């Protein structure tokens, strides 16, 4: 029986596109399969903020940020917390990825025409000691054009390969099985779904129009994780994070269902670290949703007062933007699955960003004028829309009215107005001096020591209850599913491994399906800006390795 292609790539997200580009440049014939329609080409990356983790970049140096490969590796290992036998390959992938981020990653992308916003963001600040989790310095580089801007050169090169006859794009092809012949996995079977004209991100039909079977010398799995499959998220929820939330929002479209991971397991692949996952604690219900339970993550500056469901401050260093998983663990052990930000308009105007390409039309549209216009507005347009229409946003001039509506929103009188006033006033007294015993106020002063935060990200410390800074705002924060940190175990050539540690013949994996490398390059926690980069690095590696093997 003849082969239909040299390599079949399953999944047309960023990792899949990166793999196809490498295969085509090596002259290999490729079939790219995806269960979604063509308008969803690029997958989750299209919706992303486009953040990339670089080490010692020109953007950092211009802002007087002193970074190094050694400091980044210290941060990665302190954040990942590798402690399992299964972490053998993930740790090696971590070493390789930090080398990539400190070396050729930026010039490789720059040569394709990718550019970045000049102010580097400081995500996952940690707040523990030097060897604990978090970024010691700002490393979050926002792509000029956000996710679509990062996807563009890869999509262009894939379509050029299509025009040359090297690549076939087969959308609405849903893989249901992998099979072997002559010892290697070389057969991909599945269903052809009926055509769909739904807009990008909208759930498409699973009605079938037929079946397919294709053969190739190698198969590359780049099908993503489990973020939209809430049943699977709950099944794999780690006991260390307490009980699974009863209510969760979804940060990814419905097709991110994790089904191909089980299919790969059935074919002999080893899936590791399935209890490691990355979910956000600052999710709000999208007032203009695209997919079911569509949530948007707030990217907060450090000044909002973070309260649990009963109105108590979260403990240090669980401040906005400091430790996502530490905060998630604290929330889930509180007995409730939501929290609150309490702030004022002065804070929200400068410190609230919203994750996602569609929530940042100025950056996505590469409009310098709109970016400058955002800085001149009291509240950026997308944030203002959530203040006006968002189900989780409450805006009031007086604290009693704010508390009343907070309790009305949850249907429980959990917030006591007098106690909340005492909490806020105690915090506000600590803003009178440039020194304080309040660790959050100290963190705000520290943030403003970084020029990027001082200019566009962090307001000077001031009383939340200052009428001149009002009105007051409360935001209910929900758990928002996002990334699978575990995945198919792979060696440094992206070859999928079996239970005995040997390669599964003919099978490679990349992106979220492979835990962004090795089956979990992030360990327990991520440093942010590392998901898109992990797709690029592992996709490129898988493409090059498969091209060399066929």
DSSP secondary structure string, 358-394? GG-HHHHTT-HHHHHHHHHSSS-HHHHHHHHH-TTEE
Q: Is residue 31 left, alpha or beta, with left meaning phi > 0 and alpha meaning psi from -120 to 50?
A: beta
Measured CA to CA, the distance from residue 136 to residue 72 in angstroms comes to 8
Would you state the structure tokens that stand for residue 366, as one six-digit string? 């590469």
Average pLDDT along the chain: 97
In this predicted structure, the answer to whether residue 451 has a pLDDT above a threshold of 80 is yes
Average pLDDT over residues 230-244: 94
Is the confidence at residue 355, as pLDDT, over 80? yes
C-alpha distances (whole Å) from 469 to each of 421, 434, 518 are: 16, 19, 49
Long-range contact pairs involving 161-166 (C-beta distance under 8 Å, separation at least 24):
161/20, 161/21, 161/24, 161/30, 164/24, 166/24, 166/27, 166/28, 166/29, 166/30
Q: At residue 179, does pLDDT exceed 80?
A: yes
Q: Quick one: pLDDT at residue 282? A: 98
Residues 6+ away with beta carbon under 8 Å from 289:
none
Q: Determine contact, residues 73/163, Cβ cutoff 8 Å.
A: no
Q: Residue 535's pLDDT is what?
A: 98
Q: What DSSP letter does each residue of 164-225 carry, written as one string? A: TTSEEEEESEEEEEEEEETTEEEEEEEEEEPP--PPTTSPPP--EEEEEEEEEEEEEE----
Q: Give the pLDDT confidence score for residue 461 in this predicted structure.
A: 97
**pLDDT band at 339, cuts 50/70/90?**
very high
Per-residue pLDDT at 495 = 98
The torsion of the CA quartet 256, 259, 262, 263, rounded to 10 degrees, works out to -120
Other beta carbons within 10 angstroms of residue 342's beta carbon come to 27
Q: Are 147 and 49 in contact (CB under 8 A)?
A: yes
The pLDDT of residue 376 is: 86
pLDDT of residue 1: 61
- Cα separation, 356 vs 327, whole angstroms: 22
Quickly state the pLDDT bin for 475 (edges 50, 70, 90): very high
- Pairwise CA distance, residues 96 & 78, whole Å: 16
DSSP 523: T
Percent of the chain with pLDDT over 90: 98
Determine the average pLDDT of the residues in 231-256. Answer: 95
Q: How far apart are the first and last CA of the chain?
A: 16
pLDDT greater than 80 at residue 189? yes
For residue 375, name the pLDDT band (cuts at 50, 70, 90).
confident
pLDDT at position 182 is 78
Find the mean pLDDT for residues 31-53.
Answer: 97
**What are the start-end ranges of the H helices in 411-492?**
417-429, 439-448, 451-456
Q: What is the pLDDT of residue 181?
A: 87
Rg value, the chain, Cα:
23
- The arithmetic mean of pLDDT across residues 2-25, rounded, is 98
Q: pLDDT tens digits, residue range 401-425?
A: 999 999 999 999 999 999 999 999 9
Model-level pTM? 0.97
């Amino acid at each position: 029986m003849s082969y239909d292609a040299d390599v079949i790539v399953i999944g047309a997200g960023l990792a899949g596109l990166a793999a196809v580009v490498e295969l085509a440049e090596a002259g290999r014939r490729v079939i790219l399969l995806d269960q979604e329609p063509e308008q969803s080409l690029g997958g989750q990356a299209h919706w992303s903020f486009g953040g990339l983790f670089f080490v010692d970049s020109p953007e950092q140096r211009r802002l007087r940020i002193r970074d190094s490969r050694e400091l980044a590796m210290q941060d990665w290992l302190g954040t990942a917390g590798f402690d399992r036998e299964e972490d053998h390959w993930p740790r090696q992938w971590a070493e390789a990825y930090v080398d990539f981020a400190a070396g050729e990653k930026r010039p490789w992308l720059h040569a394709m025409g990718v550019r970045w916003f000049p102010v580097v963001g400081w995500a996952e600040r940690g707040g523990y000691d030097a060897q604990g989790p978090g970024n010691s310095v700002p490393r979050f580089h926002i792509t000029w054009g956000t996710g679509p801007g990062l996807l563009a050169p890869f999509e262009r090169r894939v379509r050029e390969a299509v025009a040359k006859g090297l690549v076939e794009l087969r959308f609405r092809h849903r893989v249901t099985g992998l099979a072997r012949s002559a010892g290697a996995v070389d057969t991909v079977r599945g269903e052809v779904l009926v055509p769909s004209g739904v807009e990008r991100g909208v759930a498409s039909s699973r009605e079938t129009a037929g079946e397919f079977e294709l053969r190739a010398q190698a198969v590359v799995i780049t099908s993503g994780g489990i973020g939209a499959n809430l049943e699977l998220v709950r099944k794999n929820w780690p006991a260390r994070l307490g009980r699974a939330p009863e209510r969760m929002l979804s940060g990814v479209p419905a097709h991110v269902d994790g089904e191909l991971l089980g299919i790969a397991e059935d074919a002999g692949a080893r899936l590791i670290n399935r209890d490691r996952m990355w979910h956000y604690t600052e999710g709000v219900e999208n007032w203009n949703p695209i997919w079911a339970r569509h949530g948007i993550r707030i990217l907060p500056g450090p000044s909002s007062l973070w309260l649990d469901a009963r109105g108590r401050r979260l403990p240090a260093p669980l401040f906005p933007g400091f430790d996502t998983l530490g905060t998630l663990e604290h929330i889930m052990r509180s007995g409730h699955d939501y929290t609150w930000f309490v702030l004022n308009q002065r804070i929200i105007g400068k410190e609230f960003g919203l994750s996602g390409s569609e929530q940042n039309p100025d950056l996505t549209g590469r409009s310098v004028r709109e970016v400058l216009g955002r800085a001149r507005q009291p509240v950026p347009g997308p944030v203002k829309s959530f203040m006006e229409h968002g189900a989780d946003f409450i805006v009031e001039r007086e604290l009693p009215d704010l508390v009343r509506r907070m309790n009305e929103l949850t249907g429980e009188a959990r917030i006591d107005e007098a106690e909340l006033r005492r909490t806020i006033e105690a915090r506000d007294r600590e803003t009178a001096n440039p020194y304080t015993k309040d660790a959050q106020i100290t963190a705000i002063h520290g943030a403003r020591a970084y020029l990027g935060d001082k200019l566009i990200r962090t307001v000077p410390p001031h009383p939340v209850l200052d009428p001149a800074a009002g009105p007051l705002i409360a935001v209910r924060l929900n758990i928002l599913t996002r990334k699978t940190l575990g995945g198919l175990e792979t060696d440094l050539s992206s070859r999928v491994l079996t239970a005995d540690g040997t390669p599964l013949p003919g099978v490679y994996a990349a992106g979220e399906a492979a835990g962004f490398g090795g089956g979990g390059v992030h360990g327990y926690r991520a440093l942010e800006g590392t998901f898109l980069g992990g797709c690029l690095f592992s996709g490129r590696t898988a493409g090059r390795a498969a091209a060399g093997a066929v």
